[in-house]
Structure 1
Amino acid sequence: MDKLLTTEQVAERLNVHVNTVLRFIKDGKLPAARVGKEYRIKERVLLAFIGDGPAPHTGALVIAVANQKGGATKTTTSVNLAASLGKEGKKTLLVDLDPQGGCAVSLGLDTSELNLTIYDVLVKRDLDISKIIMETDYRFELAPSNIDLAGAEVELMQILSREGILKRRMESIRNSYDYIIIDCPPSLGILTVNALTAADTVLIPVACEYMALRGLKMLFDTISNVRAATNPNLNITGILATKYDARTLNSREILEYLQALCKRENIRMFEPVVNSSVRFIESPRYAKPLVNMHPELDGAKAYQLVAQEIING
């Protein structure tokens, strides 16, 4: 007997918004049976439809900034990369998938006063992600989060195809941007898996500290599992060394290790190294990305060079 698929499952397989699937059904392009208020599509019907070759997806390059180690500068990297891409004239959306709401805090926003966040988009089926997106003063837009997102891990367990929820929710706005940056939480739970499922590529910031190396293999394993299960086209755009202090033997050894690892695994090592600086710690106090507040500093220049490397492929 043919497996019956929901419209959301079909949308995930076709990498389109669920509304596109409904339009295919309405136009008679995709035969479906109505079950109550829902539609069901036979798997063999979908396979025949795929054989016609749906148009390849175009739109924003989605970059997940991921590393389950806390203090790996994921939020600093996400905010400054989004601001750098904005300065290059690229329309960019920053999606904060960390319950700590660090992206909004870095921009001087009080997360406790946010009425709608990415949490609402994930758990409320009918809420369009465009309703939570806000403008910033730094040439990129923000889909913020707050502590409410901490409860999403439990609530998402009740939702069908939960690993692909973020991908489905973003489909309606993907063509509106050149780049979408996802700031992942410091864990490898369902939120990070959602980010990796939605992403085209992963940027891994690694602080030049010994403890930062311990979780790299686990992250690589998670990426491999996501490729096998939900996102076969996911790749790693590169590793970015951060918190580098050339004066210390520790930093120099970690950088050498990362360079050797990237060469061995055929992963790009971003040429700029983000130097350790108290300015990164201070910038949230002034509610500005460092690339906007002190563009002349080495750390800010590094992020601008990373943005140019991403733009140039």
Structure 2
Amino acid sequence: MIRIAIANQKGGVGKTTTAINIATAMAASGWRTLLVDIDPQGNASTGLGIPARDRDYSTYDLLMREGTAQQCIQQTRIPKLDCIPATQDLSGAEVELVGEEDRIDRLKTMLSEVDSSYDVCFFDCPPSLGLLTVNALSAADSLLVPLQCEFFALEGLSQLLQTVERVQQGINPSLKIIGVTLTMFDRRNRLTDQVAEDVRECLGGLVFDTVIPRNVRLSEAPSHGLPALIYDHSCAGSRAYMSLARELLGRLPAERKAA
């Protein structure tokens, strides 16, 4: 199972929207896909149509060893896409795990039982660089970074890259950045173009060619409990995420791709 963390410590950059729609696109391409919601807000779970009342087992139970991965996994309405949902209890996990010896790689250990059941797993991380995100980076093979096309996003990116370097040095040497995707792109805004140009100049080939535009349908879809790709597959946002998924497929290790 290929494991990809979707992370950026800055909030409001499109992490959850990216996680939901890229996971849906991969499932639509025939990949057995698991989305692990590791954000206490639980927005990815809601966006996939799993109401809070139905989250009997969650990522919190997984991290606290109060439920197995199989118990925590829920099917979604999208074929080949399953989810481990999050609840607000997860916000206390960082404190409760402090004294545990395996606090950094608990997620990796607990997911090992379903490793052969899926082709790819995505982690929707919280907007912080705390223990929950570190657990995801420890468990992941690679990192996908959504980056909002605004000035302050560049400062946040440098902090994230430093964290990735520390994780590589001390926790997960095999972790790599599979790509940076530019989100909330507005061609009417000259600053958007400038930020995109600066990011490409700085990171070169790490930046995906596909950019995710500002799109009303992307914003509306979660309120219906649906990914935008299902809510309106023809909107600009949906088309962009399908294009991003194709690019992502091209960057995955050939020997580990689904048949």
Local SS of the residue matching 1:204: strand
- Percent identity over paired residues: 38
Give the deviation of 1:108 after TM superposition.
Answer: 3.2
Structure scoring higher RCO (CA < 8 A, sep ≥ 6) equals 2
Superimposed CA distance per residue, residues 223-247 of structure 1 (whole angstroms, 9 cap, x where no aligned partner)? 0111111100000000000000001
1:158 positional shift: 1.6
Which residue in 1 is equivalent to 2:71? 131
Amino acid at match of 1:298: A
The counterpart of 2:184, out of the listed 240, 243, 246, is 243
- AA aligned opposite 2:236: D
Can you give the 5+ residue segments of structure 1 that lack an aligned partner in the other structure?
A: 1-59
Give deviations 1:46-70, integer Å, cap 9, x for gaps.
Answer: xxxxxxxxxxxxxx11000000000
User: Is the CA contact (8 Å cut-off) linking 1:99 and 1:148 kept in structure 2?
Assistant: yes
Answering whether residue 221 of structure 2 is matched by residue 283 of structure 1, we say yes
- Within a 5 Å distance, the mapping from 1:60-209 to structure 2 comes to 60-124=1-65, 127-139=67-79, 140-209=81-150
**Distance (Å, rounded) in 2 between the aligned partners of 1:143 and 1:154:** 21
Segments of 5+ residues of structure 2 without an aligned counterpart are: 252-259
Aligned to 1:296: 234
CA shift, 1:112, in A, is 4.6
Amino acid at match of 1:132: C
Query: Which protein has the larger Cα radius of gyration, Structure 1 or Structure 2?
Result: 1
CA distance in 2, matches of 1:92, 1:166: 17
Correspondence for 2:211? 273
* Contact 1:112 1:146 survives alignment (8 Å): no
- The ranges of structure 1 where at least 4 consecutive aligned residues each deviate by more than 3 angstroms after the TM superposition are none
User: 1:284: how far off?
Assistant: 1.0
Q: Which amino acid aligns with 1:67?
A: N
Contact 2:146 2:181 in 1 (8 A): yes
1:312: Cα distance to partner? 2.4
**Letter in structure 2 aligned against 1:77:** T
Q: What is the TM-score normalised by the length of structure 2? A: 0.94
CA distance in 1, matches of 2:141, 2:24: 20
Instruction: Kindly tell me the number of residue pairs found equivalent between the two proteins.
Output: 250
Query: Counterpart of 1:95 in structure 2: which amino acid?
Result: V
Aligned Cα root-mean-square deviation (Å)? 1.2
